Amino acid sequence: MGIGIRLENLRKVYDSPPPSAARGGGAFAVSPVRNGLKDRGRKKFEVVALDGVALEIRAGEIFGLLGPNGAGKSTTIGILTTRTRPTAGRAFIGELDVWREPVRAKLLIGVVPQRPNLDFALTAREILLFHGAYFRQGARERARRSDELLEKFKLTDRADQNVRGFSGGMMQRLSIARAMMHDPQVLFLDEPSAGLDPQTRLLLWDIVRDYNRLGKTVVITTHYMEEADELCDRLAIIDHGRIIAQGSPRELKSTIPGGYLIRLKFDRVPEDLLADFLQLPGVTEVRAAAEAGGIDVYAGCGGPLIGPIVSAAQARGAELHDVHIAEPSLETLFLHHTGRSLRD
Amino acid sequence: MNWRTFYAMLQRDGHVARRNLLPMLLQNLLQPLLLTFVFGRVLTSSGMMKGQYKSILLPGIMAISMMISGIQAVAMPLIAELQFTHEIEDRLLAPMATEWLAVEKIVAGMIQALVSGMVVIPAAWLTMGSGVRISFDHLTIFAAICLLVALLSASGGLALGSSIGQTQIGLMYTLVVAPMMMFGCAYYPWSALRFAPVLQYAVLINPLVYASEGLRGALMPEVPHIPGMAVVGALAAMDTALLVFGLRQFQRKTVG
């Protein structure tokens, strides 16, 4: 049932701006890990998008790649879907090495791109029919499946219209229908809920779960933690081209020291204040935050600690300006690993 | 090689081309036919040019039409799809090696160029009225040259379409297409440039010269023209060069 995916030590260095396939978010979003500008005064474009990514995605699971824009999610998907050639390392879909047998790999996968890339010269039905034909389906099978999918995605009444006039949500639905047309074993969705209203997002989740119930593997990239949390069986958190944590959402959240994160902001941070906080009951870790006057406290509880924190600060002559308590979440986990918010 | 996928893509292009047949023909043929009317009808009927000019002009107009439609058919959608709409992604993900998609684009472009060429013969003939004297006695060489010209235009379209940016389309017309048409020996035989030997040899880098001269040699052998074998050799060499370059550029643009 289903097939798994394996990434072995993937590295991708762009030496020119990447073509559309690996690009996320409209503009060139890969964040430069290293941007060499030397080489005898000659300007050289070099961006390390993936830096030794190893992953194992199990057959039949919904796997999420969570990370901020430019983390390397789309590049990972690009390599797995034959659209981006890795600089080093290997990617397997089932037992197939994607870059040795790309044509056979393409037969196994369906891809929903980040931005709709529907064939604007065709109607919705024709898009599905031609897609089926590219995947060698017979005429009768194509007609049957396209009818089913149009019905399922509530596009039947617009089926014979050109897709140019479709709304963003309709295009997204049609993109997913197209990716499912040839009944792929693995479905890739790159940032599927970007720009969708909450209602359509729930519909999308249902569709993904239904497809997964048929035993198919689903790989999804997202920068919404709720999506990763709700939808994914397991996930990997990726930042600056590296996997910084992976596991089920529950496992990952349990690795956050203490669980709660209390973000504090003072007018100034006297010496020893961090050490004082660490002495408070339930506190497991204290860190100076990136911004001036900021301190992040990881602890087993949230609210009850505020009183002792304020007292300790006053004793050192520091005034508390702002406080924010975050419950255990993937956001806190991401913060813990990177010191940055997912939305930064 | 997966011929079913290849054929399905060809069908897709055929489907889209049929749907846009009239605008496409107007776009590719109107300008050459207007030129045909001015040079081949107005100027000859008023006696400002000899009637024989009609027969010299027709193969040239055919060469121009084939070149323009092949280039347009391949380059224009490609520029948009690679840089803006990304419509091509779906076909890049189809179970077929990427370079075969480029080959498919070329075959589709060749068909469009051949259709344009075949439509322009009767259309230009009608526009110019009586007095056109062309012969179809050398059908084999005519067919061979038509195929080579079609391949030239389509692989030229691939090379341009996967090399230039969307903002450079206007520049492409001013810098590539316009000089190519004027110095392509379409409106005059190559021998007419004898007065300026440097220019006469310089224009030989222009592929349209071989298209015009080749078709002229096949359709009206009595007008002095570049020998058929030289034309075939030059066209084959240019086809190969553009094809190799175009495929490489296409591969570079589509795989990151």
Assigned token pair, B4:
């079913």
Q: Is the pLDDT of residue B251 over 50?
A: yes
Q: Tell me the per-residue pLDDT of A219-236, one tens digit each, with 9 for 90 and over.
A: 999 888 888 888 999 999
CA atoms of A277 and A259, how far apart (whole Å): 16
User: Nearest chain B Cα to A109, which residue?
Assistant: B93
A115 to B86: CB separation less than 8 angstroms, yes or no: yes
Residue A303's pLDDT band, with cuts at 50, 70 and 90, is: confident
Averaged pLDDT for residues A246-256 = 83
* Per-residue H/E/C for chain A: CCCCEEEEEEEEEECCCCCHHHCCCCCCCCCCCCCCCCCCCCCCCCEEEEEEEEEEECCCCEEEEECCCCCCHHHHHHHHCCCCCCCEEEEEECCEECCCCHHHHHHHEEEECCCCCCCCCCEHHHHHHHHHHHCCCCHHHHHHHHHHHHHHCCCHHHCCCEHHHCCHHHHHHHHHHHHHHCCCCEEEEECCCCCCCHHHHHHHHHHHHHHHHCCCEEEEEECCHHHHHHHCCEEEEEECCEEEEEECHHHHHHCCCCCEEEEEEECCCCCCHHHHHHHCCCEEEEEECCCCCEEEEEECCCHHHHHHHHHHHHHCCCCEEEEEEECCCHHHHHHHHHCCCCCC
pLDDT for res A343: 58
**Which residues constitute the domain of residue B222?**
3-254
pLDDT per residue as tens digits for the range A45-75: 788 888 888 999 999 999 999 888 888 888 9
A188-203 tens-digit pLDDT: 999 888 777 888 888 8
Predicted confidence (pLDDT) at residue A36 exceeds the cutoff of 50: no
Instruction: Please tell me whether the overall predicted TM-score, pTM, comes out greater than 0.90 for this model.
Output: no
Taken as a whole, chain A contains a residue count of: 344
Whether chain A has a CB inside 8 Å of the CB on B21: the answer is no
pLDDT attached to residue A342: 62
Q: Is the pLDDT of residue A329 over 60?
A: yes
Q: A290 to chain B nearest CA, in Å?
A: 35
Mean pLDDT of B196-218: 93
pLDDT of residue A37: 45
Return d(Cα A286, Cα A283) in angstroms, integer: 8
Determine, for residues B85 and A117 on separate chains, whether the beta-carbon distance falls below 8 Å. Answer: yes
pLDDT at B53 over 70: yes
The per-residue pLDDT for A265 is 84
Q: What is the pLDDT of residues B95-149, one digit of tens each?
A: 999 999 999 999 999 999 999 899 888 888 888 888 888 888 888 999 999 999 9
Judging contacts by C-beta atoms under 8 Å, the chain B residues touching residue A185 are none
Q: Are A136 and B97 a contacting pair at CB < 8 A?
A: no
Q: pLDDT tens, A262-281? A: 788 888 777 787 777 777 77
Give mean pLDDT, residues A237-251: 88
Q: Among all chains, which residue has been given the structure tokens 């659209």?
A: A83
Q: Please write the tens of the pLDDT for every residue from A74-83.
A: 899 999 999 8
Residue ranges and CATH numbers for the domains of chain A are 5-118+166-253 (3.40.50.300), 257-327 (3.30.70.100)
Nearest chain B Cα distance for residue A136, angstroms: 6
- Residue B87: list chain A partners with CB under 8 A: 117-121
Average the pLDDT over each of A5-14, A265-274, B71-80 and give the range with the smallest value: A265-274
> What is the arithmetic mean of pLDDT over B173-193?
90
Q: Could you tell me which residue, A301 or B198, shows the higher pLDDT? A: B198
B199 has pLDDT over 80: yes
> Distance between CA atoms of B69 and B46, rounded to whole angstroms?
31
pLDDT at A27: 39
Q: What total of structural domains would you count in chain B?
A: 1
**What is the pLDDT of chain B when averaged over all its residues?**
90
